[in-house]
Amino acid sequence: MATDWGVRGGPRRYNLTSGPLLRAEASVVEGRVRLEAAGPLSRLPIVKSALKIADGQIPVMGGERLILSTWSPPIPSRAFDRLARSYLKATFGLRTPDQVTISVTEDCPNRCLHCALPDTGRDHRLEPEEVEDVVGQVLDLGTTLVIFDGGEPTTYRELPDLVRAVDDRAVSTIFTSGAGFTERLASDLKEAGLYAVNVSLDSAAEAEHDRMRGRAGAFRDAMKAVENALEAGLLVDLYVVLRRDNVSEIEEIHSLAAGIGADELTLFEVVPTGRWAGEDGSTLTEEDHAIIEEFVSVAPPPRIFSVPAAFREFGCFAGRNWMHITPEGEVYPCACLPEVVGNVRRESVRRIWQKMAKLPHRGRSTCPARRSKS
């Protein structure tokens, strides 16, 4: 479905989808993505939203392959074709778990103050054969992004084997604090087929980052992980959880991302859950969101992916496009929404996904895990 071709005297054009109901193309003009769409479905709100979120944005990479974001497969690729079909099916009300996060272990050297899934102290983990079985099941359901998380996934010895279980129907990434992300592991993960690395960052200031992570040296580990990932040829995303007291650092954090060569900077709003439960006053104000939106609109590379902006455009993804699996096998609509819908050790992922269709919050415009701001 997705192809690309050069145009003599003009920018390279990438065919995102083509059919009697929807045709969409992308190009990169003066360093920004330009999208064009035609056909009856192009007028639907969900299609307009999908195009709006990428149009005019800085791409991660152009050339033979267009990479809009570390969160989406390259164009052209089998995985992107599947993602495009997922969006088409969504116009008819058909859900697909496009993004599935698997927390493979509770083991973690950090004690992050805002951890959504703090360890229980029982050393829970999913065995490699369990993870590989789950990966196969979610790929069959249409998943195009498999994220390995923890805990700290670098502590999971079989991590490269898990990455190999993700075939060309999807891309795989890992979330890491940087602890244990050595040159050797970066190389092994690249060889296994890993697409990108999400390195968590809480502040551009070393001391503040270490404080939030609950461990001295966490900032240096994060910076070294970025270096090791880039050296191995992996895409790198700096993932920042924004709170009311660090949103003022957005420019410094972006400058840091540019300075270390990150391909993307992702901004996520803190959720008062897990260890951060009860911290409702830390969520962002409308003024904070306006500051973010203004900065994103004018910021130079690297690309910024604003999850709050995507949330406003699409509504809640939990149970509609997202699904999370814990080290105990429990399945949540989202890592930040710990509502147990089923357990992969007792029933199929397909059955659990079907049950999520009944969740009342799917697609709502406000996050069900965040209370109203005062």
Q: What is the pLDDT of residues 250-294, one digit of tens each?
A: 999 999 999 999 999 999 988 877 777 777 778 889 999 999 999
pLDDT tens across 300-347, in order?
Answer: 999 999 999 998 888 889 999 999 999 999 999 998 888 999 999 999
| pLDDT for res 219 | 98
d(CA 284, CA 309): 13
d(CA 329, CA 343): 5
Q: Which two tokens stand for residue 160?
A: 């490269």
DSSP 67: B
* CA distance to 22, 327, 334, per residue, from 125 (Å): 43, 4, 18
217 φ/ψ sector (left φ>0, alpha ψ -120 to 50, else beta): left
Mean pLDDT of the chain: 91
DSSP bridge partners of 75: 66
**pLDDT at residue 92 tops 70:** yes
d(CA 218, CA 113): 13
d(CA 224, CA 216): 14
Q: Do 297 and 287 touch, CB atoms closer than 8 A?
A: no
Give residue for tokens 């992996």: 234
**pLDDT at residue 3 tops 50:** no
What is the mean predicted confidence (pLDDT) over 87-96? Answer: 91
| pLDDT for res 274 | 73
Q: Is the dihedral angle over the CA atoms 144, 366, 330, 110 positive or is it negative?
A: positive
pLDDT tens across 153-197, in order?
Answer: 999 999 999 999 999 999 999 999 999 999 999 999 999 999 999
**pLDDT at residue 202 tops 50:** yes
| pLDDT for res 211 | 95
pLDDT band (50, 70, 90) for residue 6:
very low
d(CA 350, CA 143): 12
